[in-house]
Each structure stands twice: as structure tokens, then as C-alpha cells.
């Protein structure tokens, strides 16, 4: 078969040359191909418009619809604010502590002067600027309201005000004039936030002097009382955020390690703790204990004093036939101590988690376990080998106490029922352990002071923890563009920042209880936002599946569209070239 | 002449044993065909004052906290497996009050001010119990929960019962296994380390022909409503096949005994050296606790009473002539009750205790007590669209009418038609349906709840039928093993009259569960649908698009555009090539 084009060409270019031996006219007519009518520019443009409108529909309608239909709702979050909170750019926590000075025996002028000089001495001692002790002259019981603010104007020192006693006073100093004994001396009240300072009247600084031994003494005492709190707060500030560089120099590495140990031991703050007291015995005795009255006597007052910080629920149980886990090294008999001993490194495996029913209590909040273990009479007394102790603390879990049966008539025998007296020592151990587990500082001796210190430390740590949760959420928001962010998260974030701001203001103004309340709300909201269920519940939808779903439709549709567009573009370019 | 003694019912024996804070009892009763019924019963009491203060002694703390958290006043939980063969085993233990339908069954009285609150507390309860017992109880949702009206009554003493809501849920598909037994045993004060609970072993328990574990918590009060206590009763009832249980664990494959040891029926025509029709030996098999349970009892649990009725913790119900040997190093006390058909033992503390019954030719036996009612239920019909349920309930009594409540809890995807409900009695034409309570299903929200009060004359059979439609589920609602079918919970039957003489708890009976085959789709369907619709759409689009953008010319004008198509282009190229080749060749010539 000869080429059509060739045939055409020959018939067109040389019609006369082949005349003599050309084929018959009919065949010639068939070979001389019929030309289609030239395409009108109108139809060319129609075609272009058609293709253009298809593309327009695909791009301006299809794409947006697809985009809208598959879009994931992501609420707007104030990312910058959230990161700023974590970086400490918005709030630098400060702890101005108000200390009331009660000096009913002193004339007002002398008292004010004493307060001023003591404040000077104190400011010289203080190395940690965020923690500031502010002395105030307490209102004398007989002073009426109009006399309350008698301030002197001074540039650098804080004006001593006569303020009424309220709960924002961290500590009150009672100036007590005495005639006998060594003076000045001080005494910290065990069960109230008060420091009694005894002095002889001649120690009162004369109005002309700028310093006096009494003022220095009081300042030193105060500094001592708040030393651990300052160190703890400084440590907290330095560890939780890079922005708050510790400004305290005297924090030795050993002391810092000790603080670190204390803080890892303690539970995280929670509004409610569940306390579980369990009696474990490898035999069938003792099967009963007077726990209710023991708790009533030894624990309830303690828990009541905590009530401004956290609430507690208490439950108890008796578990018999509790054996050690088989992986633990069994107690060995030590002839020297005449006792059965547990090695220190085995103490972590003492609790047989698989078999002992120490499941956490139901309800929000962590469970603190206290285990009273009464060993088998054949294995008693049971002690810790290294130090002969009988109790230990499991960090962030609870405490263990071994109660060895009393030896009566040569052989140790376990009573069927443990009475309150037998439980007394165990209860003391448990309350000590509870203090450590809740993060109560070791000093000072005054319990209310330690609790208010705990309030401040907790408030600060909650502020830090909520801020870092916020920044984690911000990072999550940026890192995972495919997770949905519902409006509730945005709302929670707003609430968190609002309450953080309130907590920060409260801290600045010395309202520590209010700061704790606000920080608690902030922390709860931040956690709620971070663990929002619909956010975590995003299913992994792999790209291969998308291809499998889209390709069967988009492939056959896209190919003609693209080809037509290319062809038209090409012919358009040719047309333009021709015109030139 | 063979004389008979009546089987003692368990309830008569153990009703007195609740005075102390903890009591336990095991009752063994050989059944025909070398089966052995073992009923374990454990009870603990906790005074309601210490329960309120969460001071737990014998009551398990984990369960107590769940009950308090969910405001549950009375709880009944059942784990069951297998079928009670009433024809050969007779009346059920505890009159059926301590057993559940196949799988898991839970009902509880929840204290709440409104129905919604009750339901949310019920969900709390099921979720918490699910974690405690390692069972899928959290799958008891609204579709599996009903509020029975006539079938269940509280067993405990409730003073302000106005706020109590009864909720009932079943999981017929749940397979009860060792992971449910372990937490069950942990709830006991002696924890399987001493006492009769030391016999509980998952390998034997779940190898039984029928077994049920139950937990019942109820408040019990003195007559005037004071001095209340919370009682937890735990039961394990099982029927062991002794031949099966005696097989060693390391070699459990059954093997025939050597032919010399088998007594063959020589009258059979096929009796030969290698073929044998074994004769019934007519003697009781020999067994011991160690044979059947794999271990002896490890002494008494010291928390039980040391004297009195509660101290006899193991009882065996055999005819007086059956010899029972005790194997223990410690001291024990044997006492006989009920015309010597019941032998009870005080266990030694700290020493193993075993009972051995040698093989013995018996002249007397014990009479099985007949169940007051038997029931069977099945699905009839064919196809994937509809079916019908048929329940056949027989009253074997010669004299008494039996009145009972029949409770069905059907899944929502099984849609019964109440107008097709027919109840016929074989001997009379009167309508046996006394009362009907029906709550229809709502798709995906709740299941059908049907309660009927029925009455059967003596020696009659009642046939209850109704039709139902099978729903088509959504693609994601099918379980992974969709072709296996869907389990339908057993029907619960409670006898209203005659009342049980033995206890106030009533008499219960449950049918077996049913397997409902539903139409199952082809699970690759979504992708097929995507591909098919896409193809159709692409075809339509391609046609329309081509019609619009292509230039149409006459067939004879087409050649003007040169060769068309791949074929044309290819041949054109080929010819050009050949021509070029030929041209060269021509020059070379």
C-alpha cells in the first residue's frame, strides 16, 4: 500500500506530467482525497472555551469542594502566647512574703524603726530576688481602722504598714520583752505560724542608728526559717525553665541533689489523693486490726491540716497469704543480728505487684499505698540488712513498714488482732512517709509554716507544669498538621492562660492560697486540652489509601483533560508563531 | 432390691452457715455417667459501717470500691460455660439461682435519682468490672441492657428501694476462661492458698462439662432493719467428667483400655478379637480429689469457724453404703447428716486432705430430684432475610400447674414481630399467656425486651413461636468473625408457682444461647464500589468531553490529517524506514 500523502503530493504537484500513463479518471478521483472544510476560527475558539471551562470548573469548583470536604477542623490557638508562657516571658513568679511584726510593748516610732532596720538587714542577706520577705507592723489589737496605715515615705525600703491579721500573712513575729535569760533569743511555734522573739528593752535600736544587733538577729532567724523554701523555689525555677536562671549562689551541688531527690520522691500535685492502708501477712494471722481508731487518732488531724492544699480519701484492707514474688531473693538469716534480713537492692521487689491486690483506687487522683507487712513468725524479726531498719519509702508509690511480731515466751507469736497500741509506731512511720510523699519540706519545725511553704511550692510548680503543657500542645499543633483541633481545646487553652495570669498576679501580690486555686484550675484545663480525646483519636490514614481511592476516578478524568489542554496549547503556540 | 435415697439439695445444707464473717463449703455429688458435681460456696460479710468507711477486711477492696463508686446496692455477676444436662443430672444446683446464661450475665440494683443517672452509673459499673475480671463487660452498652420487670427480685434488704434501678446485661459471646478465674480467686480471703479454694484450678475448671462462677453482693439486715452487713457470696459450680479429669495433664489424649481389661458383650454378632461392645460394669468408678482436681485440699482456711456447722467445709453426698476413705496426716472430724447420705468433714489446719472413693458395686442409689420445668429454644427457618424462634417448655408434673416468667433479651438486629407470637399448649386450647411486657428495639440504641407470664397445665408442653427479621448491619458493625454468626442471649425463666420449698430466692432456668446467622457482605465491597462508580463516571465524562472538544469530519475527509491511530503511525514509520533501506540498496546495486 502506497503512502497516501505521497499519492496526494504527486497528484497535486505534477498533475500534467503523468497524463500519458495515468490511471483512469475514476480511480484518480478516489485517490485525490477530499479535504475537510477549513476549521472556522469560531469553532476553534469554541473548543478552546470548552476546554477552558472544564479546567475552570475543576480548579475553581472541584478543588475548593475537595479541599473543604477533606479539611480537618483546627481551631485557632494562641501559639505565641503559649510558647511565651513556657519560656517564662509572660510571668516571672515572685514570692513576696508578708511577715507581721507584733510589738505591743513598743511605742509606734520604735517599732517602725525596728522594722525598717530589720528589713534592711534582711535585704542584705537575701540572695534570691524572687523570694522576698516583707516586714509589716501588725495592727495592735486595740488599734482602730483609721490608724491602720501609718506609712513613712522612703525610697528603697518597703513602707511598714499596720495591717490587720489575715491569712496572707506568712509568719508573725511576736516581740516579747523579758528581763531574764539570754537575749535576744527566738522560738518558733510548732503549731502556729509564729516566731517569738525575746528581747530586753535596752536592745531596741535607738532611732539614730541604722543597724542594731536585734535587727540583725531577727533577720538571721527569718532567713534561717525560710532558707529551705528559698532553696526549693530556686531549684524549681532553675530546673523547670531555662529562662529563670537561678540567682541563688549558695545552692551547693549536694544540696541541689538532695532537693532533686526529694522532688522525685514526691507525688505530683493532685487535688485529691487516695490513701490505701493495707495489712499484708504471709500466713492467716493477723486477720484483723484496729485500723479505724488508729487512723482516727494518728492520721485524721494530719489530713485536716492538709485540707487547704488537697483532699484525701482513706481506705484499708487486710490481705492474707501474701507471698513474695518468686523473682525476689528470699530473706536470709543473719546470725549476727539474730534476724532475718532483706537486702537493700531487693526492697524494690518486695511488693509483689502481680499478686498483691494494690490496684489504684477508683476516682480521679493518685493512690498512695501504705503497706504494713507482718512477717511469718518463722521469719521474724525481718529487717533491712544494711541498716537494720524496718521501713522504707517507694518513690511516688507509697511506703512499706515491717511490723515484727512481739516475742513472748521465747518464740515470736503473731496476735490474731493488732490493737491500736501495736499500730502506733507504724502509724508514725506512715505519717512521716506521707509528708515526704506529698513533698512537705523538712524544715522549719513549725507545721503550719511547712504547709504554707508547700502551698507556695505547689502553686509555683503547677504554674510551671501548666505552662509546659501549653508549650507541648503548641509544639504538637505545629508538628502534626493532620490532627483536628476542636473548639473545646481552644477554649481550654484560653481558660488556662487566663488562670495562669490570675495565679501569677496572686503570687505577685502574695495571695498564695488564691494562686494555688488558680494554678490548679489552669493545670486541670491544660491537661484537658492536651488529652482531648477527639484529638488523640485521629486515625492514621495512609497516603496509599488516598491514592487507591482517588486514582480510579481522577486518572481517567484527568488524562483527557490534560491531553486536550496540551494539544490546544501546542496549536495555539503554532498559531502564534505563524502570525509572527 | 435397689433402694433409693433422695439427693439433698444444696440450699438446705448451707443456709445455716452464715453466722460468722467468713464461711466456705464444698459439696461433692457423683452424677450418672461418671460425672461429678462440685459446688464451691464462699461467703464473706462486712458490716455496713466499715464498708462505708472503706475499711475492708474480708470483703475485697477492689470490688467494694467499684460498688461504692457506681452506687450499686446489689450485684449479681455470672460467668458460665457449657450446658446443664437436666435429663441425666436432674435439678440444677441452688435451684438455678446461682447460675447464668452462657457467657457473662450481670444484673444489679443501682441507686440513682433518674433513669439517665442509673444508666451512666451502670456504664461505670460495667467498665470497672471489666477491668477487675478481665472480661469484655465494657461491651455491655445500651443495646445489651434491659430493665426486667418481673424476672428478678432483690435478694437483699433494701430500705429505700424507691431509688433503686434494676439493670440487666448479657454477653453471650464471651468465652469464660482462666483469666476470669484468677481475679475471682483473688477476691477470696484465703486466695486459693488454703481451704477448699486450693482445689480451684483453671485447667480443671474450664475442662468441665458445665461450669458457672457467680458473685452475688447483697445487703443483709436484722429483722428490724438495723445491724446491716454487706454479704458477698461467691460460687463455683461445675460438673466434671471424671474420666476426662483423671487423664494426666502431660498426656491428655484419650486412649482405649487394653482389650483384655474390657468386659465385652459376646452376644453381639461382630464380637471378635479386635471388636468389642463394652458392657456396663455396673459399678461406681474409683476417684479421689487428687485424681479429679489434680491436687488435694491444702488444709482448712483458718478464717472459718473452728467448731459448729460452719466448720464442716467439705461434704459429699453418696449413699451410706459407699465407702469413703480419708487421706490426711492431720486430725479431722467426720459427721453424717440426712440419713447418712451426707458426710461432712472438718478439715485439718495446715495438712493436706484427700478423699478417696474406691471402685464399688452398688446395690443402692440416690434418686435425682426432677426439675419442675424443662426448656429448649431454637431458631427455625432458612434464608438470610427472616427466621423464627421456637421455645418448647415442658411441665413434667402430674398434678400441678406451673406459672413462670419467660424473659427474652434480643439484640436490635433481630427484629421480632409480636403479632406473630403464638403460644400453644399441647393438652388444652386455653391461651397460656397471662401477661406480656414488651419493649421494642430501637436500631443501634437498644435491644428488644420481652417478658411473658405463662401458665402450663400438668403434663403439658408449651410451644412458643415468633417470627423475626434479620437486619443488615453497617459495614463497620460486623465483628471480625462475621460469618460465624451472632450470639443471642439465653432466655431466662423464673418459676412463679409452685414456689421453691428450699429458699426464698425462687427457681430459675436458662435456655442455651443461640447462634444467629446474619447476611454478611463482601468486605472488599467499598473498594469495588469506588472502582465501579469511578469507571462509570470516567466513561461518561470521557464521552461528553470528547464530543465537545473533538472536531468532527466526514469519514472520507479523515485521511487529510495523515495517518491516524497508533497502527497508522506505526505502519507509516515502518514504510518510511523500508523505503530508506530500499533506496540505499538501490544505490548499492
B51-70 per-position pLDDT tens digit = 888 888 889 999 999 999 99
B 310-369 near A (Cβ less than 8 A): none
Flag whether pLDDT at A143 surpasses 90: no
Which residue is it, cell 488523640?
Answer: A536
What pLDDT does A163 receive?
43
Flag whether pLDDT at B330 surpasses 90: no
Q: Identify the residue among B24, B44, B49, B55 best suited for mutation to test binding to A, counting A beta carbons within 10 A and taking the highest.
A: B55
Decide: helix, strand or coil at residue A395. Answer: coil
B525 touches chain A (CB under 8 A): no
Residue A51 Cα distances to A45, A553, A559, A569, angstroms: 10, 19, 13, 11
What are the DSSP calls for A291-344, one per residue?
Answer: HHHHHHHHTHHHHHHTTTT-EEEEEEEEE-S-PPPTTSPPPEEETTTTEEEE-G
Cell of A244: 529563670
Cell of B420: 406473630
B 234-273 near A (Cβ less than 8 A): none
Chain B residues near residue A39 by CB distance under 8 angstroms:
551
**Which of A136, A138, A176 shows the shortest CA–CA distance to A159?**
A136
Flag whether pLDDT at A411 surpasses 80: no
Among the partner-chain residues B189, B549, B575, the one whose CB lies closest to the CB of A50 is B549
Which residue is it, cell 474480708?
Answer: B58
Flag whether pLDDT at A573 surpasses 80: yes
Helix A227-240 with A213-225: angle, nearest 10 deg: 50
10 Å Cβ neighbour count for B420?
12
Flag whether pLDDT at B463 surpasses 90: yes
Alpha helices in B234-284 (DSSP H): 242-246
Phi-psi region of B517 (alpha: psi -120 to 50; beta: other; left: phi over 0): beta
Pick the more confident residue, A23 or A95.
A95
10 Å Cβ neighbour count for B520?
14
Task: Give the C-alpha separation, A262 to A260, whole Å.
Answer: 5
Nearest CA of chain B to the CA of A162: how many Å? 47
**Which of A77, A130, A90, A76 shows the shortest CA–CA distance to A502?**
A90
What pLDDT does B18 receive?
43
What pLDDT does A177 receive?
79
8 A C-beta contact, residue A499 and residue A518? yes
What pLDDT does A539 receive?
53
Distance between alpha carbon B158 and the CA centroid of its chain, in Å?
29
A386-398 per-position pLDDT tens digit = 888 888 888 888 9
Region A283-302: what's the mean pLDDT?
86
The sign of the CA dihedral A551, A557, A560, A562 is: negative
Name the β-bridge partners of B410.
B448
Specify the DSSP class assigned to residue A491: H
Task: Give the C-alpha separation, B329 to B283, whole Å.
Answer: 30
Residues A104 and A200 in one domain: yes
Task: Give the C-alpha separation, A461 to A237, whole Å.
Answer: 9
Task: Give the C-alpha separation, B244 to B208, whole Å.
Answer: 9
Task: Give the C-alpha separation, A329 to B403, whole Å.
Answer: 64
Cell of B416: 421480632
Residues A123 and A227 in one domain: yes
Among the partner-chain residues B61, B548, B549, the one whose CB lies closest to the CB of A357 is B61
Is A328 domain-assigned? Answer: yes
**Closest residue of A to B192, CA-based?**
A321
10 Å Cβ neighbour count for B215?
22
Which of these ranges, A29-38, A186-195, B13-22, has the smallest mean pLDDT? B13-22
B580 touches chain A (CB under 8 A): no
Q: Identify the residue among A6, A34, A42 best suited for mutation to test binding to B, counting B beta carbons within 10 A and taking the highest.
A: A34
Residue B210 Cα distances to B103, B204, B289, B487, B566, angstroms: 12, 11, 18, 19, 76
Residues A17 and A118 in one domain: no
- List CB contacts of A447: < 8 A, sequence separation 6 or more: A190, A191, A305
Q: Identify the residue among A552, A559, A570, A571 best suited for mutation to test binding to B, counting B beta carbons within 10 A and taking the highest.
A: A552
What pLDDT does B423 receive?
92
Please judge whether A35 and B190 are an interchain contact, meaning their C-beta atoms are less than 8 angstroms apart: no
B246-268 per-position pLDDT tens digit = 887 777 787 777 777 777 888 88
The sign of the CA dihedral A100, A106, A112, A115 is: negative
Alpha helices in B187-234 (DSSP H): 202-205
Task: Give the C-alpha separation, A152 to A115, whole Å.
Answer: 12
Flag whether pLDDT at A9 surpasses 50: no
Flag whether pLDDT at A205 surpasses 80: no
What pLDDT does A277 receive?
92
Among the partner-chain residues A288, A355, A557, the one whose CB lies closest to the CB of B57 is A288
Residues in chain B: 589
The sign of the CA dihedral A308, B54, B200, B130 is: negative
Residues A225 and A369 in one domain: no
Task: Give the C-alpha separation, B221 to B230, whole Å.
Answer: 9
Residue A418 has phi, psi (to 5 degrees) of -85, 125
Residues A25 and A132 in one domain: no
Longest dimension (CA), chain B: 133
**Which of B262, B199, B260 shows the shortest CA–CA distance to B42?**
B199
Please judge whether B560 and A36 are an interchain contact, meaning their C-beta atoms are less than 8 angstroms apart: yes
Decide: helix, strand or coil at residue B391. Answer: strand
Residues A344 and A433 in one domain: yes
Please judge whether A556 and B539 are an interchain contact, meaning their C-beta atoms are less than 8 angstroms apart: yes
Per mean pLDDT, which of A6-10, A58-62, A251-255, B559-563 is the most reliable?
A58-62
Decide: helix, strand or coil at residue B104. Answer: strand
Nearest CA of chain B to the CA of A401: how many Å? 19
Cell of A263: 522532688
B476 touches chain A (CB under 8 A): no
Task: Give the C-alpha separation, A503 to A510, whole Å.
Answer: 10
**Closest residue of A to B575, CA-based?**
A3
8 A C-beta contact, residue A497 and residue A78? yes
Strands (E), A33-161: 95-102, 131-138
Alpha helices in A439-542 (DSSP H): 447-479, 487-508, 512-530, 533-536
User: CB-based burial of residue B314 (10 Å sphere; 0-12 exposed, 13-18 middle, 19+ buried)?
Assistant: buried
Chain B residues near residue A4 by CB distance under 8 angstroms:
559, 562-563
User: How many CB contacts within 8 angstroms connect chain A with chain B?
Assistant: 118
Final residue before a domain boundary, out of A438, A471, A500:
A438
B370-402 per-position pLDDT tens digit = 888 899 999 998 888 889 999 999 998 888 889
Q: What is the signed CA dihedral for B280, B286, B291, B292, rounded to 10 degrees? A: 60
B302 touches chain A (CB under 8 A): yes
Nearest CA of chain A to the CA of B567: how many Å? 14
B567 touches chain A (CB under 8 A): no
Nearest CA of chain B to the CA of A4: how many Å? 8
Confidence category of residue B503, pLDDT binned at 50, 70, 90: low
Confidence category of residue B428, pLDDT binned at 50, 70, 90: confident
Flag whether pLDDT at B12 surpasses 50: no
Task: Give the C-alpha separation, B451 to B435, whole Å.
Answer: 8
Chain A residues near residue B21 by CB distance under 8 angstroms:
none
Please judge whether B56 and A288 are an interchain contact, meaning their C-beta atoms are less than 8 angstroms apart: no
A488-505 per-position pLDDT tens digit = 889 999 999 999 899 888
- List CB contacts of B267: < 8 A, sequence separation 6 or more: none
Decide: helix, strand or coil at residue B415. Answer: strand
Quote the Cα angle for B198-B199-B200, to 5°.
Answer: 95
Q: Identify the residue among A416, A420, A557, A561 best suited for mutation to test binding to B, counting B beta carbons within 10 A and taking the highest.
A: A557
B183-235 per-position pLDDT tens digit = 999 899 888 888 899 998 888 888 888 999 999 999 988 776 677 888 999 99
B 178-197 near A (Cβ less than 8 A): 186, 189-191, 193-194
B340-372 per-position pLDDT tens digit = 788 888 888 888 899 988 888 877 777 778 888
Region B426-436: what's the mean pLDDT?
88
Task: Give the C-alpha separation, B482 to B469, whole Å.
Answer: 18
Task: Give the C-alpha separation, A63 to A56, whole Å.
Answer: 10
Give the right CATH number for B374-516 from 1.10.240.10, 2.60.40.740, 2.60.120.10, 3.90.550.10: 2.60.40.740
Is A294 domain-assigned? Answer: yes
Which stretches of chain A sit within 8 Å of chain B by CB? Answer: 3-5, 33-36, 39, 43, 47, 50-51, 54, 276, 284-285, 287-288, 291-292, 313-318, 320-321, 323, 355, 357, 359, 361-363, 548-549, 552-553, 555-557, 560-561, 564
A167-188 per-position pLDDT tens digit = 567 788 888 877 777 777 777 8
Residue B270 Cα distances to B110, B258, B262, angstroms: 65, 18, 16
Region A511-526: what's the mean pLDDT?
88
A324-343 per-position pLDDT tens digit = 888 888 888 888 878 888 88
Task: Give the C-alpha separation, B488 to B101, whole Å.
Answer: 10
Residues A402 and A322 in one domain: yes
Confidence category of residue B13, pLDDT binned at 50, 70, 90: very low
Domain residue ranges in chain B = 4-367, 374-516, 530-588
What value does the mean pLDDT of chain A take?
Answer: 78
Please judge whether B560 and A33 are an interchain contact, meaning their C-beta atoms are less than 8 angstroms apart: yes
Distance in angstroms between the alpha carbons of the first and the last residue of chain A: 39
Chain A residues near residue B182 by CB distance under 8 angstroms:
none
Residues A309 and A218 in one domain: no
Cell of B205: 475448671
Among the partner-chain residues B69, B539, B557, the one whose CB lies closest to the CB of A35 is B557
Q: How many domains does chain A have?
A: 3
Is A351 domain-assigned? Answer: yes
Cell of B153: 427480685
What pLDDT does A148 receive?
37
Is A554 domain-assigned? Answer: no
Residues A136 and A213 in one domain: yes
What domain range includes position A334? Answer: 272-438
Q: Is the ipTM of this complex over 0.90?
A: no
Region A17-24: what's the mean pLDDT?
46
Residues A276 and A425 in one domain: yes
Chain B residues near residue A288 by CB distance under 8 angstroms:
57
Residues A141 and A29 in one domain: no
What value does the mean pLDDT of chain B take?
Answer: 85
B53 touches chain A (CB under 8 A): yes
Nearest CA of chain A to the CA of B223: how many Å? 27
H/E run at residue A371: strand A367-373
A461-470 per-position pLDDT tens digit = 888 888 888 8
Task: Give the C-alpha separation, A574 to A572, whole Å.
Answer: 5
What pLDDT does A5 receive?
42
10 Å Cβ neighbour count for A493?
28
Confidence category of residue B87, pLDDT binned at 50, 70, 90: confident
Flag whether pLDDT at B17 surpasses 50: no
Task: Give the C-alpha separation, A492 to A535, whole Å.
Answer: 13
Pick the more confident residue, A54 or B252.
A54
Decide: helix, strand or coil at residue B409. Answer: strand
Please judge whether A320 and B186 are an interchain contact, meaning their C-beta atoms are less than 8 angstroms apart: no
A108: CATH: 3.30.379
Is A43 domain-assigned? Answer: no
Amino acid at each position: 500500500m502506497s503512502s497516501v500523502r505521497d499519492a496526494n503530493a504527486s497528484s497535486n504537484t505534477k498533475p500534467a506530467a503523468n497524463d500519458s500513463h495515468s490511471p483512469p479518471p475514476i480511480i484518480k478521483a478516489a485517490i485525490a482525497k477530499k479535504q475537510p472544510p477549513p476549521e472556522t476560527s469560531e469553532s476553534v475558539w469554541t473548543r478552546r472555551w470548552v476546554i477552558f471551562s472544564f479546567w475552570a470548573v475543576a480548579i475553581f469548583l472541584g478543588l475548593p469542594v475537595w479541599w473543604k470536604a477533606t479539611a480537618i477542623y483546627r481551631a485557632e490557638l494562641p501559639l505565641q502566647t503559649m510558647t511565651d508562657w513556657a519560656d517564662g516571658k509572660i510571668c516571672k513568679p515572685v514570692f513576696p512574703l508578708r511577715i507581721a511584726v507584733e510589738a505591743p510593748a513598743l511605742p509606734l516610732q520604735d517599732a517602725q524603726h525596728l522594722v525598717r532596720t530589720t528589713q534592711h538587714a534582711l535585704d542584705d542577706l537575701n540572695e534570691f530576688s524572687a523570694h522576698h520577705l516583707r516586714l509589716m507592723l501588725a495592727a495592735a489589737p486595740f488599734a482602730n481602722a483609721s490608724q491602720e496605715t501609718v506609712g513613712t515615705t522612703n525610697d528603697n525600703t518597703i513602707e511598714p504598714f499596720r495591717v490587720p491579721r489575715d491569712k496572707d500573712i506568712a509568719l508573725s513575729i511576736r516581740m516579747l520583752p523579758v528581763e531574764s535569760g539570754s537575749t535576744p533569743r527566738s522560738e518558733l511555734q510548732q503549731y502556729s505560724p509564729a516566731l517569738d522573739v525575746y528581747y530586753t528593752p535596752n536592745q531596741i535600736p535607738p532611732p539614730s542608728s541604722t543597724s542594731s544587733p536585734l535587727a540583725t538577729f531577727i533577720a538571721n532567724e527569718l532567713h534561717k526559717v525560710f532558707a529551705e523554701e528559698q532553696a526549693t523555689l530556686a531549684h524549681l525555677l532553675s530546673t523547670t525553665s531555662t529562662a529563670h536562671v537561678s540567682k541563688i549562689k549558695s545552692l551547693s551541688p549536694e544540696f541541689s541533689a538532695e532537693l532533686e531527690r526529694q522532688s522525685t520522691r514526691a507525688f505530683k500535685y493532685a487535688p485529691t489523693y487516695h490513701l490505701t492502708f493495707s495489712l499484708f501477712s504471709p500466713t492467716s494471722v493477723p486477720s484483723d486490726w484496729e485500723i479505724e481508731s488508729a487512723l482516727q487518732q494518728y492520721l485524721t488531724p494530719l489530713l485536716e491540716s492538709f485540707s487547704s492544699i488537697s483532699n484525701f480519701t482513706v481506705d484499708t484492707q487486710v490481705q492474707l497469704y501474701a507471698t513474695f514474688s518468686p523473682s525476689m531473693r528470699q530473706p536470709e538469716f543473719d546470725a549476727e543480728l539474730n534476724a532475718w534480713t532483706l537486702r537493700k537492692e531487693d526492697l524494690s521487689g518486695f511488693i509483689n505487684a502481680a499478686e498483691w491486690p494494690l490496684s489504684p483506687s477508683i476516682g480521679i487522683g493518685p493512690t498512695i499505698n501504705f503497706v504494713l507487712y507482718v512477717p511469718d513468725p518463722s521469719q521474724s524479726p525481718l529487717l533491712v540488712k544494711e541498716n537494720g531498719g524496718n521501713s522504707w519509702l517507694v518513690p511516688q508509690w507509697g511506703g512499706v513498714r515491717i511490723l515484727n511480731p512481739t516475742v513472748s515466751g521465747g518464740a515470736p507469736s503473731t496476735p490474731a488482732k493488732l490493737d491500736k497500741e501495736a499500730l502506733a509506731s507504724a502509724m508514725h512511720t506512715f505519717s512521716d512517709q506521707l509528708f515526704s510523699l506529698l513533698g512537705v519540706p523538712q524544715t522549719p519545725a513549725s507545721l503550719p509554716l511547712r504547709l504554707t511553704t508547700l502551698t507556695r511550692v505547689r502553686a509555683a510548680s503547677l504554674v510551671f507544669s501548666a505552662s509546659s503543657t501549653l508549650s507541648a500542645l503548641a509544639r504538637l499543633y505545629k508538628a502534626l498538621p493532620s490532627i483536628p483541633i476542636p473548639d473545646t481545646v481552644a477554649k481550654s487553652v484560653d481558660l488556662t492562660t487566663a488562670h495562669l495570669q490570675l495565679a501569677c498576679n496572686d503570687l505577685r501580690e502574695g495571695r498564695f492560697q488564691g494562686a494555688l486555686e488558680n494554678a490548679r484550675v489552669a493545670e486541670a484545663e491544660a491537661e484537658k486540652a492536651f488529652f482531648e480525646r477527639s484529638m488523640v483519636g485521629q486515625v492514621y490514614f495512609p497516603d496509599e489509601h488516598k491514592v487507591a481511592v482517588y486514582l480510579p476516578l481522577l486518572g481517567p478524568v484527568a488524562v483527557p483533560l490534560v491531553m486536550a489542554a496540551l494539544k490546544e496549547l501546542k496549536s495555539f503556540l503554532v498559531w502564534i508563531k505563524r502570525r509572527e | 432390691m435397689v433402694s433409693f435415697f433422695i439427693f439433698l439439695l444444696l440450699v438446705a445444707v448451707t443456709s445455716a452457715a452464715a453466722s460468722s464473717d467468713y464461711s466456705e463449703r464444698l459439696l461433692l455429688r457423683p452424677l450418672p455417667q461418671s460425672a461429678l458435681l462440685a459446688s464451691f460456696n464462699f461467703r464473706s460479710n462486712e458490716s455496713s459501717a466499715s464498708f462505708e468507711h472503706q475499711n475492708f477486711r474480708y470483703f475485697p477492696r477492689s470490688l467494694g470500691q467499684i460498688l461504692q463508686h457506681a452506687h450499686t446496692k446489689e450485684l449479681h455477676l455470672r460467668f458460665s460455660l457449657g450446658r446443664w444436662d437436666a435429663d441425666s443430672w436432674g435439678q440444677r444446683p441452688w435451684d438455678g439461682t446461682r447460675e447464668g446464661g452462657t457467657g457473662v450475665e450481670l444484673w444489679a440494683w443501682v441507686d440513682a435519682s433518674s433513669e439517665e443517672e442509673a444508666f451512666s452509673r451502670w456504664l461505670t459499673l460495667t467498665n470497672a468490672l471489666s477491668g477487675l475480671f478481665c472480661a469484655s463487660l465494657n461491651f455491655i452498652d445500651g443495646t445489651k441492657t434491659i430493665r426486667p420487670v418481673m424476672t428478678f427480685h432483690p435478694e437483699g434488704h433494701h430500705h429505700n428501694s424507691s431509688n433503686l434501678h434494676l439493670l440487666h446485661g448479657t454477653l453471650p459471646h464471651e468465652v469464660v476462661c482462666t483469666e476470669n478465674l484468677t481475679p475471682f480467686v483473688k477476691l477470696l480471703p484465703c486466695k486459693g492458698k488454703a481451704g477448699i479454694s486450693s482445689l480451684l484450678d483453671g485447667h480443671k475448671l474450664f475442662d468441665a462439662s458445665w461450669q458457672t462462677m457467680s458473685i452475688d453482693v447483697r445487703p443483709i439486715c436484722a429483722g428490724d432493719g438495723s445491724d446491716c452487713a454487706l454479704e458477698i457470696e461467691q460460687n463455683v459450680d461445675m460438673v466434671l467428667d471424671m474420666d476426662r479429669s483423671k487423664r494426666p495433664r502431660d498426656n491428655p489424649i484419650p486412649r482405649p483400655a487394653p482389650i483384655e481389661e474390657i468386659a465385652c458383650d459376646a452376644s453381639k454378632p461382630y464380637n471378635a478379637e479386635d471388636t468389642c461392645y463394652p458392657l456396663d460394669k455396673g459399678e461406681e468408678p474409683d476417684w479421689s480429689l487428687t485424681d479429679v482436681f489434680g491436687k488435694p485440699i491444702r488444709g482448712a482456711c483458718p478464717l472459718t469457724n473452728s467448731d459448729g456447722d460452719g466448720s464442716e467445709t467439705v461434704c459429699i453426698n453418696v449413699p451410706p453404703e459407699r465407702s469413703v476413705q480419708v487421706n490426711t496426716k492431720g486430725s479431722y472430724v467426720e459427721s453424717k447428716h440426712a440419713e447418712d447420705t451426707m458426710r461432712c468433714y472438718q478439715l485439718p489446719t495446715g495438712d493436706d486432705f484427700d478423699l478417696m472413693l474406691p471402685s464399688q458395686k452398688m446395690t443402692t442409689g440416690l434418686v435425682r430430684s426432677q426439675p419442675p420445668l424443662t426448656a429448649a429454644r431454637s431458631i427455625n427457618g432458612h434464608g438470610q432475610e427472616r427466621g423464627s424462634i421456637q421455645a418448647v417448655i415442658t411441665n413434667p408434673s402430674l398434678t400441678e400447674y406451673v406459672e413462670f416468667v419467660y424473659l427474652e433479651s434480643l439484640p436490635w438486629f433481630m427484629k421480632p414481630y409480636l403479632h406473630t407470637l403464638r403460644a400453644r399448649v399441647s393438652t388444652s386450647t386455653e391461651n397460656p399467656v397471662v401477661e406480656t411486657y414488651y419493649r421494642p428495639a430501637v436500631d443501634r440504641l437498644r435491644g428488644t425486651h420481652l417478658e411473658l407470664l405463662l401458665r402450663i397445665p400438668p403434663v403439658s408442653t408449651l410451644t412458643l413461636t415468633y417470627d423475626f427479621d434479620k437486619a443488615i448491619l453497617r459495614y463497620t458493625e460486623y465483628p471480625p468473625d462475621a460469618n460465624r454468626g451472632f450470639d443471642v442471649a439465653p432466655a431466662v425463666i423464673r418459676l412463679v408457682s409452685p414456689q421453691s420449698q428450699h429458699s426464698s430466692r425462687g427457681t430459675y432456668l436458662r435456655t442455651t444461647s443461640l447462634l444467629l446467622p446474619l447476611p454478611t457482605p463482601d468486605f472488599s465491597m467499598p473498594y469495588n464500589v469506588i472502582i465501579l462508580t469511578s469507571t462509570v463516571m470516567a466513561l461518561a465524562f470521557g464521552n461528553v468531553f470528547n464530543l465537545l472538544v473533538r472536531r468532527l469530519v466526514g469519514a472520507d475527509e479523515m485521511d487529510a490529517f495523515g495517518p491516524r491511530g497508533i497502527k497508522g503511525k506505526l505502519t507509516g514509520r515502518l514504510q518510511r524506514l523500508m523505503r530508506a533501506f530500499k533506496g540505499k540498496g538501490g544505490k548499492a546495486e
